[in-house]
Copies of this chain bind each other. A is one copy, B any other.
């Protein structure tokens, strides 16, 4: 099944987020708390289930203390 390119990008961003989150020692819960976003949103972004916004990415990256572009290094 050839996946839609958009879904592939969302999955890559999600995988990158998960990798960095774990490297930085955050659980999905603590990251969502620190980023002030709904608890299940981190998991849904990591699984590539939702196409989140620049603002949410900014909140997550601020909590992880990384530049947003790092989520797109793939």
* CB-contacts of A16-74 with B (<8 A): 51-59, 62, 67-70, 72-73
The 0/1 profile, CB within 8 Å of B marked 1, for residues 1-18 of chain A is 000011001100100000
> Which residues of A are interface residues toward B (Cβ below 8 A)?
5-6, 9-10, 13, 51-59, 62, 67-70, 72-73
Residue numbers in B under 8 Å from A51 (CB-CB) = 53-56
How many copies of the shown chain assemble into the complex? Answer: 2
Taking a contact as CB atoms under 8 Å apart, the answer to whether A6 and B52 are in contact is no
Taking a contact as CB atoms under 8 Å apart, the answer to whether A6 and B55 are in contact is yes
Tell me, in angstroms, the Cα distance from A72 to B73 when the chains sit together. 11
Residue numbers in B under 8 Å from A67 (CB-CB) = 72
